[in-house]
Amino acid sequence: MAASLSIAAGLVVLNCRRVRADSARFEDGASFKVLDPDSGQVIGHSRYELSDCRNDLLIGRGQARFNDGEYDFEYDILKLRQGNAPAMLTLDHKFYNADGSMQREVAADFRTGQASCTRYQNGVARIDSAKLDFTRDSYGGSAVVLPLEQHLARRSSEPLKLQALNCIPKPRLIAVQVRVGRPALWSHYPGETVEVDIKPDLGWLDAVLSPFLPELRAWFDPSDNWALAGGEFSRYFRGPRIIIVREISPEFRNAESRKETGD
């Protein structure tokens, strides 16, 4: 199944062009530094962009490269929805070792419910598959940022709840709740940001299971149409935790510095 998803993404992208979409904040591509959360040192770089295709389709393409030689590629297919964040159709995220061998893969077809989590050891694939009940508010991979940005742009006072696809290590849909903070300074970024915490929403099971489930923290820039400023998360289940920080132009940094000094 994973191979078929990759082929589908490759075929669709041939007819795509990078444009601005109502719900897409990555229309021109967003580049990020990857930091070690303990030392703050730069350990890699990543990039994500959306392309607009025929039939209201969007293709999301992401890649990350780390200083130790590891890298990963992500291909998403989404469909535009009037007045709502794009709906996910497929996800294919491949992780590679420094020598180019496959390390793991997450693949899902949100239309059929088929999902798989694959881990490789000594070149041998261990595949865990499941058929999940993907809903209209189900997301996975980098595309989870899209409904967050739209929610912030609407300035809604209503809590946002989503379903997030995770490999833990088998495919699972985890109900999550989004908690929005107040504008504040984030040490990695010039200017004010709004912190968003995405945590499992499991009811009475929260106290028991939450410590074992993935969490995501993200920061958004209200002065830049709520563009993603950065995030902190694990690369994969029980994998290393990283921080990503959007790389912005010197002109923007200088403008923010002038604001702070009153010049």
Q: What secondary structure does DSSP assign to 81-107, as a single string?
A: ETTEEEEEEEEEEEEE-TTS-EEEEEE
> What is the sign, positive or negative, of the torsion defined by CA atoms of 20, 194, 245, 103?
negative
Task: Return the pLDDT at 250.
Answer: 56
On whether the CB atoms of residues 143 and 149 are closer than 8 A, the answer is: no
Q: What is the pLDDT of residue 226?
A: 93
pLDDT of res. 200: 83
Q: Which amino acid is at 49?
A: E
pLDDT, residue 219, reads 97
The DSSP result for 152-209, as a single string, is HHHT--SPEEEEEEEESSSEEEEEEEEEEEEEEE-TTSSSEEEEEEEEE--GGGHHHH
* pLDDT at residue number 263: 52
What six digits make up the tokens of 156?
């809604």
**What digits encode the pLDDT tens for the residues 156-209?**
878 899 999 999 889 999 999 899 999 999 999 999 999 999 988 765 444 444
Q: Which letter, b or e, does each residue of 146-173 get, where b requires 16 or more Cβ atoms within 10 Å of its Cβ?
A: bbbbbbbeeeeeeebebbbbbbbeebbb
Domain ranges of the chain: 2-257
pLDDT of residue 256: 47
Q: In this predicted structure, which of 18-22, 117-121, 144-148, 215-219 has the lowest mean pLDDT?
A: 18-22
pTM of the model as a whole: 0.82
Map residue 45 onto helix, strand or coil: strand
